[in-house]
Amino acid sequence: MFKQFKKEYKQVLKNIKKYQKIIVFRHQRPDYDALGTQLGLVTWIKDNFPSKEVHYVGKNHSTFMPYLYPYMEELQDDVFEGEFLAIVVDTGNSSRIDDERYKKGSTIIKFDHHPNIEPYGSINIVYNELSSCAELVSDFLFSCGNKYPLSRLAAKYLYSGIVGDTGRFLFSSVNATTMRNAARLMDVGIVPARDVFDAMYEKDLASIELQKFVLNQFKVTEKGVAYYVLEDKDLKSLGIDSERGKEYLSIMSGIRGVPIWFSVTEEVERGTYRVSIRSKILDISSVASKWRGGGHINASGATLNTLEELPLLIKDLEELIK
């Protein structure tokens, strides 16, 4: 157990017991970690406290559902009336929480692994060196002991979160504790190949077309920044939506002499361009913050208002390489 959170874990369990209504939130544009953590926690609460009213909210992901995760609930405003416990997972700052109605929570708990720039919870459990939020929440659930067991379904969701945010245990954030926590989830009885990986990594044909596009289009600057740009017209011709723009970022991850790589995806509905930046070692989070975003040392997100800003972003990233 992460001993530094012993006191907070007790408070969280006390609050889960106290409230009759519990609603679990996560960040906008969800990834495997956000969804896996949210649904893993919801499943565990429902399994162990069957008389409680438990909900989960946020927009659906365009491809993960219903293969790996169930569709989200669509909750009317009246559900958020009266007392309830709001638990927000995997979200560093309040503006990224998918569903503003978290604010109505009588008590708000934050579980996260991003830098704690905004401790918006009444209880904040933040471990920003951890590979995934799913690992943190798994640690909390295991700390509750055998009296509150974890089902195979809950373990499957949490495992998907760890796999997603570690790039299948590839990233530098993976350590022995990550593996031990993943093993504890496997001990519950899940078979990752069958229960998780098949659904996570099965591809549709559009995905292969996107892969072709990325391989044909990506560029590498003289100083070693690799990137690709997907404009709305490209998304339309590939038949995918903007959420999938970063799907093949990892193609650029192992190129010798390329310490930083990113994708740019037009989001016409917002009138902006979504940037996903990754690095081997260099800390890209400050550049991401400068460009209307944020995130982790080696994985961050940013926003461009126009493509004219692209050379400036490249320049900032090249400065890091210097």
List of residues contacting ligand AMP (CB under 6 A): 27, 31, 92-93, 96, 114, 246, 276, 293-296, 299-301
For residue 244, the tally of other CB atoms under 10 A from its CB is 19
User: Measured from the CB of residue 34, what is the shortest distance to ligand AMP in angstroms?
Assistant: 8
For residue 41, the tally of other CB atoms under 10 A from its CB is 28
193 DSSP assignment:
I
Phi-psi region of 2 (alpha: psi -120 to 50; beta: other; left: phi over 0): beta
User: Measured from the CB of residue 44, what is the shortest distance to ligand AMP in angstroms?
Assistant: 23
In the bound state with ligand AMP, the residue whose beta carbon lies nearer, of 143 and 272, is 272
CA atoms within 13 A on the CB side of 42: 23
User: Measured from the CB of residue 50, what is the shortest distance to ligand AMP in angstroms?
Assistant: 32
Helices (H), the chain: 6-18, 32-48, 133-143, 152-166, 176-187, 198-201, 205-217, 232-238, 285-290, 310-321
In the bound state with ligand AMP, the residue whose beta carbon lies nearer, of 93 and 211, is 93
User: Measured from the CB of residue 148, what is the shortest distance to ligand AMP in angstroms?
Assistant: 28
2 DSSP assignment:
-
Strands 272-279 and 299-304: antiparallel
User: Measured from the CB of residue 294, what is the shortest distance to ligand AMP in angstroms?
Assistant: 3
CA–CA distance, 224 with 227 (Å, rounded to integer): 10
Query: Which pair of tokens denotes residue 81?
Result: 């009336």
User: Measured from the CB of residue 278, what is the shortest distance to ligand AMP in angstroms?
Assistant: 8
Q: What are phi and psi of 302, to 5 degrees?
A: -145, 180
In the bound state with ligand AMP, the residue whose beta carbon lies nearer, of 21 and 110, is 110
In this structure, which amino acid lies at residue 287?
V
35 DSSP assignment:
H
In the bound state with ligand AMP, the residue whose beta carbon lies nearer, of 84 and 291, is 291
Asked if 265 and 236 touch (Cβ cutoff 8 Å), the reply is no
Strand partners, 219: 227
In the bound state with ligand AMP, the residue whose beta carbon lies nearer, of 88 and 299, is 299
Taking the alpha carbons of 92, 95, 97, 101 in that order, is the dihedral positive or negative? Answer: positive
In the bound state with ligand AMP, the residue whose beta carbon lies nearer, of 190 and 304, is 304
User: Measured from the CB of residue 301, what is the shortest distance to ligand AMP in angstroms?
Assistant: 2
In the bound state with ligand AMP, the residue whose beta carbon lies nearer, of 259 and 295, is 295
| Helix axis angle, 133-143 to 152-166, nearest 10° | 150
In the bound state with ligand AMP, the residue whose beta carbon lies nearer, of 123 and 249, is 249
User: Measured from the CB of residue 79, what is the shortest distance to ligand AMP in angstroms?
Assistant: 26
